[in-house]
Structure 1
């Protein structure tokens, strides 16, 4: 009887964890909080935000000439820099930084330019965000994570390697109780890019012994899912 109750509790816990994953990241796996400007929002933009989205440097310079409005927000809390990052307008990002824009600003969902580019798997734009003063160690997202955790969860291995080189924290634990290494396993598909993500993290020295809130390590998660290549890296 006691053993049956224990198994029942484990089933309930695992079911709750599955619901938590779906609620946090949606059925498609990508964090729902990453919201690029919609067509309706873009149509309503004027001045700085519109110039940032279009990559119109002349209009941007005119709008930013006094330095006023650099931190004006749209309905999702995006500054012109966030809009430029979503639109992959790297020259605009550099121009905004020169004008004095806050390169570490967070939008309404607590994402900065680095994390926006990391989630988009946009390595060049992320490099631009780093170069203008973005912080690879910043705590971002509603899950109190980092750009590295977001990229690892999606298997963006090139972005992961770049963030590691930039000094992103390897072992930060988000408010779900997960590190970048754990997310690469439990939210990954076990495919080549997630395997390379795990390889990059392990090679850089990410702690393989850090378990989730249920005491399950990355190796145990990989073993349960039959991710043989990850198991080999994590042993």
Structure 2
């Protein structure tokens, strides 16, 4: 059996070297930490953070394709674009300086053409550009009056933003709600009576109110029943007779409009 004491001298000889290595390690760690924490003056200042938005490429707006046209050419194109419902072209023409009040051979403006064909986006662009809702054509129609013919509630809302004159009469001496009552535009009549101060009992050149026109020229079916209800609800005078002295109720009974007659009897 080998005695353990024989290995001791060898171990004692190694110990001084181990102590030296152990002593060096903290010094190296300290130097490394110092080098990492101290700024490197040779590296120069740290770069400034970049703004992603400022580094994006700038886009140049496309040139207006109508910028070089004459006033006459702009006007002709605007009339055509308004009638056809080309709203993007209308906006470009307006940006190029086209006159909103240019007239065609029948003295119709772009807005009147847009209203006649129910081009709502076009009308919206024209109204935003300041188009006049009261210009008369050679048939004595205005953009506002024509909304009563088409019965478009969406268009009526757009034209009302331009503050039209509700007292201008058409060639029959009527206001917008009278032809609408004749044609059965129930939603239109209800909207106009609710959102404007149009004169409900206005009498046209034929001697008819909207109520008389709805009964005399209407069909007595549900759209006209709704119109009669709207007119009555907004204060229409059921006693106003035509030039022959015939009242709306008498006309309704004569034409066999039972439902309409009942509405008038309750008024």
Query: CA-atom RMSD, angstroms?
Result: 1.9
Offset of residue 88 of structure 1: 2.3
Q: Which residue of 1 aligns with 2:120?
A: 90
- Confirm whether residue 108 of structure 1 aligns to residue 167 of structure 2: no
Deviations, residues 8-29 of structure 1 (Å, cap 9, x unaligned): xxxxxxxxxxxxxxxxxxxxxx
Q: Is the 8 A contact 2:107 2:137 kept in 1?
A: yes
Worse-matched range after superposition: 187-196 or 84-93: 84-93
Q: Is the 8 A contact 1:117 1:126 kept in 2?
A: yes
Q: Could you tell me how far apart the structure 1 residues matched to 2:126 and 2:105 are?
A: 20
Q: 1:195 to 1:58 in 2, by over 3 A?
A: closer
Query: Which of these residues, 226, 238, 244, is aligned with residue 208 of structure 1?
Result: 238
Q: Which residue of 1 aligns with 2:173?
A: 144
Q: Any unmatched runs of 5+ in structure 2?
A: 1-74
TM-score for the superposition, normalised by structure 1: 0.74
Q: Which residue of 2 aligns with 1:35?
A: none
Q: Which residue of 2 aligns with 1:52?
A: 82
Q: Is the 8 A contact 1:119 1:150 kept in 2?
A: yes
Q: Could you tell me how far apart the structure 2 residues matched to 1:134 and 1:94 are?
A: 14
Q: Could you tell me how far apart the structure 2 residues matched to 1:150 and 1:67 are?
A: 36
Offset of residue 80 of structure 1: 0.3
Q: Which residue of 2 aligns with 1:159?
A: 188
Q: Any unmatched runs of 5+ in structure 1?
A: 1-44
- Confirm whether residue 117 of structure 1 aligns to residue 147 of structure 2: yes
Deviations, residues 102-139 of structure 1 (Å, cap 9, x unaligned): 1222222122223322222222112211123233x233
Q: Could you tell me how far apart the structure 2 residues matched to 1:58 and 1:233 are?
A: 47
Q: Which residue of 1 aligns with 2:213?
A: 183
- Confirm whether residue 69 of structure 1 aligns to residue 99 of structure 2: yes
Q: Is the 8 A contact 1:85 1:125 kept in 2?
A: yes
- Confirm whether residue 218 of structure 1 aligns to residue 226 of structure 2: no
Q: Could you tell me how far apart the structure 2 residues matched to 1:208 and 1:157 are?
A: 18
Offset of residue 195 of structure 1: 1.0
Q: Which residue of 1 aligns with 2:26?
A: none
Provide the aligned length of Structure 1 versus Structure 2: 190
Q: Which residue of 1 aligns with 2:226?
A: 196
Offset of residue 213 of structure 1: 0.8
